[in-house]
Amino acid sequence: MGIRVDTEKCTGCGTCQPACPFGLIDIIDEKARINVAGCNLCGACKDACVYEAIEIEQTVVQVPASDEYRGVWVFAEQRNGEIKGVAYELLSKGRELADTLKTELCAVCIGYNVKDVAQLNAHGADKVYVIDDPALASQTEDPYVAELTRLIREHKPEIVLAGATPFGRSFFPRVAAQLKTGLTADCTGLDIDTEKKLLRQTRPTFGGNIMATIICPLKRPQMATVRPRTFRRNAPDANHKGQIIKIDFNKSAVISKTRLLNFVADMSEKVKLDDADIIVSGGRGLGKPENFQLIRDLASALGAAVGSSRPPVDEGWISYPHQVGQTGKTVCPKLYFAIGISGAVQHLAGMQTADCIIAINDDPDAPIFQVATYGIVGDLFKIVPMLTESLKKG
Ligand SMILES: Cc1cc2nc3c(=O)[nH]c(=O)nc-3n(C[C@H](O)[C@H](O)[C@H](O)COP(=O)(O)OP(=O)(O)OC[C@H]3O[C@@H](n4cnc5c(N)ncnc54)[C@H](O)[C@@H]3O)c2cc1C
């Protein structure tokens, strides 16, 4: 792709100059000159030019035939042989996508001594491709990139999903690069454009201020990563039968540039928000750090974990591992208390899939009430101690 000015047609009138959002156009010797190095080919100058003197050359991309790529795939990540929860969450969403597209859902599990592979079938996979080999135990990326790329090239799925875990974020883009296709990272929503049969991949952008829906119309497969706990995990269905297909590890084809010397678990994080069934979160409405004790007391009465919106973390009232939201944790508990939290989109991004949300806020118009299952309008300093006391009395 490129942009050029037809100097025969250009009159040097300058109407293109203000149209360029990046100020890349100069008029020199009565002709427009575009600084192509900074140009993203948005076409605003072309649209502004009444003399049709600006041309953008498009590279013709071969769109794959609609039936060449079929099926929705989920990369089922494991560590030390245990399949991660995000794999089941993605299969639950993947089942919906596959049913909409009237195609099959497959899981790919790569590792060593992986347990409970049949659970992937019970969570919706029609086929599970398993590559199990001692050489895959250390989970260095190169063999995973090579093997997933090989399987995708062979079977041609139209959609491939992976968890936005540290491993997924690192190895999955390398697979996309090998396949020369697009990848949308950290999606918070996935659905199908039924007319065009495209995956609509929604994620926060511009610092979380807007949600962008991204499509990949010209390349296959369409690839996306999704943060753990973004989608609800369906209950397993033992009646959903599927195939387990064992594939030999193609060791000779893998050139590994890395070697695992040691693995040191991160013990710094003691707050187990991810696994909590009940979370009690406090926000800026608490006013000062000491008041977080109200949240801790209620959490202790309920046997719950303590969460927070971002301002108390920024103010140093509570540490970062407690933060729920776009730049904190994504959680999906059975019960979530939002106390003195307004319900900004960045907070909702981390908790809105909770089964039941109870909001306590003195502003009846606070956006949190739009997602709350139950809303209590009133002063948290009166309501929370009353709740804690009555729970303690049992
Ligand atoms: C890039 C980016 C990333 C972000 N990431 C996150 C994130 O991960 N998590 C997050 O939470 N935010 C995040 N934010 C910040 C987010 O935009 C909001 O500013 C934040 O969530 C607001 O926190 P809050 O609801 O505690 O405070 P506020 O919006 O100030 O709300 C306080 C609420 O308390 C209520 N209140 C006050 N006094 C009382 C009382 N006595 N009784 C009852 N209610 C009372 C008020 O009515 C109000 O609704 C991010 C922002 C950006 C730009």
- The CATH number given to whatever domain includes residue 374 is 3.40.50.1220
Q: Are residues 78 and 126 in the same domain?
A: yes
Residue 386 lies in a domain: yes
Residue 65 lies in a domain: no
Q: Are residues 212 and 104 in the same domain?
A: yes
Residue 361 lies in a domain: yes
Residue 49 lies in a domain: yes
> Cβ–Cβ contacts within 10 Å for residue 294, how many?
21
Q: Are residues 154 and 180 in the same domain?
A: yes
Query: Mean pLDDT across the stretch 22-51?
Result: 93
Q: Are residues 226 and 360 in the same domain?
A: no
Bond preceding residue 221 cis, omega within 30 of 0? yes
Most confidently modeled of 65-69, 122-126, 225-229, 231-235?
122-126
The pLDDT tens digits of the residues spanning 151-193 come to 999 999 999 999 999 899 999 999 999 999 999 999 989 999 9
366 lines ligand 1 (CB under 6 A): yes
Protein residue closest via CA to atom 30 of ligand 1: 284
Q: Cα of 90 to ligand 1 centre, how many Å?
A: 29
55 lines ligand 1 (CB under 6 A): no
- Percentage of the chain with pLDDT > 90? 78
Residue 261 lies in a domain: no
Does 27 have pLDDT greater than 80? yes
Number of domains in the chain: 3
Residue 161 lies in a domain: yes
Q: Are residues 47 and 87 in the same domain?
A: no
Long-range contacts of 289-295 (CB under 8 A, 24+ apart): 289/315, 289/316, 289/317, 289/318, 291/381, 292/317, 292/318, 294/339, 294/380, 294/381, 294/384, 294/385, 294/388, 295/339, 295/384
Q: Note the Cα 104 to chain centre separation in Å.
A: 22
CATH number for the domain spanning 119: value is 3.40.50.620
Residue 67 lies in a domain: no
Residue 272 lies in a domain: no
Contacts of 211 (CB under 8 A, 6+ apart): 188, 189, 202, 203, 204, 205, 345
Per-residue pLDDT at 136: 93
Query: Mean pLDDT across the stretch 137-150?
Result: 93
Does 267 have pLDDT greater than 60? no
pTM for the complete prediction?
0.72
What are phi and psi for residue 262, nearest 5 degrees? -160, 155
The pLDDT tens digits of the residues spanning 39-73 come to 988 999 999 999 999 999 877 666 676 688 999 99
Q: Are residues 111 and 222 in the same domain?
A: yes
| Pocket residue to mutate for ligand 1, from 309, 348, 387, most atoms within 8 A of Cβ | 309
Q: Are residues 374 and 229 in the same domain?
A: no
Q: Are residues 328 and 210 in the same domain?
A: no
94 lines ligand 1 (CB under 6 A): no
Query: Mean pLDDT across the stretch 286-304?
Result: 95
381 lines ligand 1 (CB under 6 A): yes
The pLDDT tens digits of the residues spanning 335-361 come to 999 999 999 999 998 998 899 999 999
Q: Cα of 126 to ligand 1 centre, how many Å?
A: 43
Q: Which domain holds residue 219?
A: 72-253
Does 268 have pLDDT greater than 80? no
